Amino acid sequence: MRLWQKMMIGLARNDRLTARMQDARCMRRFSRMFVGGGDAAAVLERARQLRAEGMAASLFYLGEYVRDPELIRRNEAELEGVAPMLADASLDIHLSVDPTQVGAMLSWDLCRENVTALAQRVAGLRGSGRAVVMLDMEDSSVTDRTLDLYHELRARGLPVAVTIQSSLHRSREDLDRLVECGGMVRLVKGAFAEGPEVAATGRTARDATYRACLDQLFSPVALKRGVYPVLGTHDHRMVGYGAALAARHGWRPDQWEVEMLLGVRPTYQRRLAVEGRALRLYLPFGESWFPYAVRRVGERPANAWFVLRSMLDGLAGK
């Protein structure tokens, strides 16, 4: 699986291939599977549709590992620009951001400045729904910096949340501090092909680390501290395990949620929504969709068939 992931990550970072795929008509169905729209207006409409189906959304502007100052400014502007649109539509102002898309590749001071401005923007728009800037967690080389940024902004009273990758060996210790501080924590298994010296790599080990982290997030101490667990997983076993922990320790249904990616296990997503489970979909938007979408194939090889079918349909003129 790690070899497959590495292959897909390599494709995602190939600029020439990205340009060709994003211009190819036959790939449009593929992009719509995982991406909420090309611009803010389109993704806002998609978020409205999701709400009508009983699902919330976390918006993410496509573009990461960015070194171009102009692209960094654009990324920041797009996220700041969509925030009041969400407020006007009475939707959650829930924005996900990668540190490397807003300046971390050039300077963590620049990243801090941009994320602070975004969080202040969101804070000023607080309404009846949830309002938060969720820091995505990228590869292990930026874990320390990302957590430092989160703790700094939270100490300043800004509406921020953070993502933890359960497969990293360090994550149990990181969660101890996060639980003590309270707040929203999104738990994912980890989408990066890290080595065994950094992370659990086998499926059994990765499952075990996720369950252990759920034990921390749903502990009586976490409940008392005001932790809001977000189960970032498509694994129904982990959702079931988390739900059982929540019931055992007295968590209300509105004190935690499940978050999944748009386009991954949609039938299961609809089932959870029908059952009344608090469900949020990660909703990317923007023009740079290929690197993001191909990584989703890396995480779930079954999606590769959808890519091939999209290409064949395009060649057939459908």
> For position 63, what pLDDT does the model report?
84
Domain residue extents for the chain: 36-288
Look up 136 and say whether it is catalytic. yes
CB atoms within 10 A of CB 145: 15
CATH number given to 36-288: 3.20.20.220
The angle subtended at Cα 64 by Cα 61 and Cα 69, nearest 5°, is 95
DSSP-derived secondary structure letter, 168: B
pLDDT of residue 316: 47
Query: What's the CA gap between 127 and 270, in Å, rounded?
Result: 27
Q: What confidence score (pLDDT) does residue 16 get?
A: 75
Amino acid 13: pLDDT: 64
Selected catalytic residue, list 92, 136, 174, 207: 136
Q: What is the pLDDT along the chain (318 residues), one digit of tens a residue?
A: 556 566 666 665 666 766 676 666 656 666 677 889 989 999 999 999 999 999 999 999 998 788 999 999 999 999 999 999 999 999 999 999 999 999 999 999 999 999 999 999 999 997 668 999 999 998 889 999 999 999 999 999 999 999 999 999 999 999 999 999 999 999 999 867 678 899 998 889 999 999 999 999 999 999 999 999 999 999 999 999 999 999 999 999 999 999 999 988 899 999 999 999 999 999 999 987 767 766 666 665 655 555 545 444 444 444
Q: Give catalytic status of residue 176 as yes or no.
A: no
Q: Which of 112, 121, 130, 186 is catalytic?
A: 186
Task: Please write down the long-range contacts of 302-311, taking CB distance under 8 Å and 24 or more positions apart.
Answer: 303/33, 303/263, 303/264, 306/29, 306/30, 306/33, 307/27, 307/30, 310/26, 310/27, 310/28, 310/29, 310/30, 311/26, 311/27
